[in-house]
Structure 1
Amino acid sequence: MVGILIMAHAPLGNAFITAARHVFRCMPEHLEAIDVMPDQNPEEVIQLAKLAIARLNLGNGVLVLTDVCGGTPSNCSQKLDALDQVAVLAGLSLPMLLRALTYRHDNLDVVFEMAQAGAQNGAVRVDNRLRIAPG
């Protein structure tokens, strides 16, 4: 099973875990979040992430999901990408997380691709123009 670490601006990380628990009706295993606080020392964030990765990696790797590319969580995660069996994906959305959780029994590369596809396919236009005419 691939572990999943969410690194996001506070309080998003734990909010995403709460949403995943709601959807799956249980707490997904080997899923953790680091909510990065304003002005938190980046070295502290990196150390917390390394400890979380050590807990989450059961031998199949860890997917690190960050909220926005260029933000502190994402910038800190770049230091983690050099670790063995770690892949980092920015642009966290609920469809991305749910897809990663659904496919996490596969290998890390597949989980990464499925999470990325979940994010891309999860962004759709929803409005009245999409109605199907009766009849």
Structure 2
Amino acid sequence: MVGILLLTHAPLGQAFITAVEHVFRGPTECFEAIDVAADQDINQVNELAKQAIARLNDGSGVLVITDIKGGTPSNCCNSLAAEGCVEVIAGISLPMLLRAITYRRDTLDVVVEMALAGAQSGAVRVDNRIRVGPG
């Protein structure tokens, strides 16, 4: 099963874990978050991430999801992706994460594609204006 690591600005990662536990009515296996503090040493974050990836990787690989490309958590991912068994996506959303979790018994490439599809289909305009007249 593909492991999932959230590497985000604090406290976003833990908030997503809480949301996933709510949706799936309990903890999800092979799923962790590292919340990066504003003044946290980037070397420490890299080490924590490498340790988490080692715990989460059962041979199927690990998807690392970060919040915003170019931020400190995302910048830490640059060296992680070079590991070979790690894929990184920036721009976390709950639809993205739920889709990744749902498909993670598939290959890492499929999980990445499904997560991206979840993000794209999950961002929609909610229009609740009352329409008057035909149409």
Do the structures match in fold with TM over 0.5? yes
SS at structure 2 position matched to 1:124: coil
Q: Note if 1:62 corresponds to 2:62.
A: yes
In percent, how many aligned pairs have the same letter? 67
Deviation of 1:130 (Å): 8.5
Number of matched pairs: 132
**5+ long unaligned stretches in structure 1:** none
Partner residue, 1:90:
90
Q: What TM-score do you get using the length of structure 2 for normalisation?
A: 0.94
TM-score (norm 1): 0.94
Structure-2 change in CA distance of 1:58 and 1:38 (3 Å): same
The alignment partner of 1:79 has SS state of helix
In the alignment, the residues of structure 2 paired with residue 129 and residue 54 of structure 1 have an alpha-carbon distance, to the nearest angstrom, of 50
Which deviates more, 17-26 or 121-130? 121-130
Change (3 A) 1:130 1:39: farther
Distance 1:31 1:105 in 2: 13
Q: Can you give the 5+ residue segments of structure 2 that lack an aligned partner in the other structure?
A: none
1:20-50 per-residue CA deviation (whole Å, 9 max, x = no partner) reads: 0000001110000000001111111000000
Instruction: Give 1:72 shift.
Output: 0.4
**In structure 2, distance between residues paired with 1:127 and 1:3:** 36
Match of 1:36?
36
**DSSP 3-state at the match of 1:8:** strand
Q: 1:1-135 to 2 correspondence within 5 Å?
A: 1-129=1-129
